[in-house]
Amino acid sequence: MNRTRRTQSVLLLSLCLGCCALSLAGCEIFRNKPADVTKTEAKLPSLPVPSDALQLEVLFVERPAGDRLLGDALWNEVDTMLNLEPEEQRDLIKNGFQIGVAASHPPAALQQLLELRAKPKAGEVTSPQDSSNRLQGSRIFVRSGSETQIQLNDTPYPDFDFNVFASHNAVHADIKKYADAKCLYRVTVHREQPGWARLEFVPEIQHGLDLMRPQAGSNSWELSAQANVERLYKHKFTIVLNTGEMALVTGRGAAAGTIGHRFFTGPAGQDSVQRMLIVRLAQAGSIDNPYGAEGSIPSVTINKSH
């Protein structure tokens, strides 16, 4: 009898110890949130900026069509003599493009444009005056020899047509029509020398629905979802900028209906607002990384004269 009781006592003691061990383990195994998880998190290292990267600031200004700030008050104060052949520049003018370069100390009209408030956020209540004074912008890095896309219209135009003159001597224009069109520029950037960069602007129209279309891959043709693409090489141009200088691109109000005018106002019936694209060379890159080991972006200040 005593042996039986001792055996039962040992079994009971073992069972109790086992239950206690499981209870203690369960507190950690089945805990909803691991303890001190934040202390063991590893932070991702900052991505370094390539030493040959160029920093661009891309800005859009929207103003009522015919606004004086986009007229002579601006263009009389900027350099419109581009690095182009005279006939190429006349062709761009004939087709409604207005292009120039502003110095790092911008003229008064451009300073006013750069001081306009940002585009309102979703749900923000604004006055009619606020909605016509918009400034949007972003800052991007582009490696020397690479390209970036700058889209001009937020949403596709259902019907988009414009006039194109074959040359500045042409009397009659051809009419181009597209459906579901997006207007953009492909900008290829080359570092020329310390503090200088060459930017090539090629206008492009992406139109139609996104369908599976053949595209050149690394070894063969591949199918990818994309719209039809038409690059308008005849209307490309090149601008050389020094650090701090800005390329200004917009349409000519006096050339209504041309490709340059339509690119920056939209189709007929939606052309009450004119846009201007501003691309500023913030940093020209160098062999020695000018941004620091962690790729920090320096602040930018627009110099103002009073």
Write the DSSP string, 143-163: ETT-EEEEE--SS-EEEEEEE
Cβ–Cβ under 8 Å, residues 54 and 281: yes
- Burial (0-12, 13-18, 19+ Cβ within 10 Å), 130: middle
Euclidean distance between CA atoms 229 and 209, whole angstroms: 11
Per-residue pLDDT tens for 24-62? 444 444 344 444 544 555 566 656 666 678 999 999 999
Residue 287, token pair as written in the block:
């062999």
- What phi and psi values does residue 297 have, to the nearest 5 degrees? -100, 125
**Strands 157-164, 196-216: pairing kind:** unpaired
Per-residue pLDDT tens for 248-304? 999 998 899 999 999 999 998 888 999 999 999 998 866 444 443 333 333 333 333
* Whole-number pLDDT of residue 301: 35
- Burial (0-12, 13-18, 19+ Cβ within 10 Å), 230: middle
Per-residue pLDDT tens for 235-260? 999 999 999 999 999 999 889 999 99
Per-residue pLDDT tens for 182-235? 999 999 999 998 899 999 999 999 999 765 556 656 666 666 657 899 999 999
* More confident: 193 or 174: 174
* Whole-number pLDDT of residue 203: 97
* Whole-number pLDDT of residue 303: 35
What are the extents of the domains in the chain? 54-283
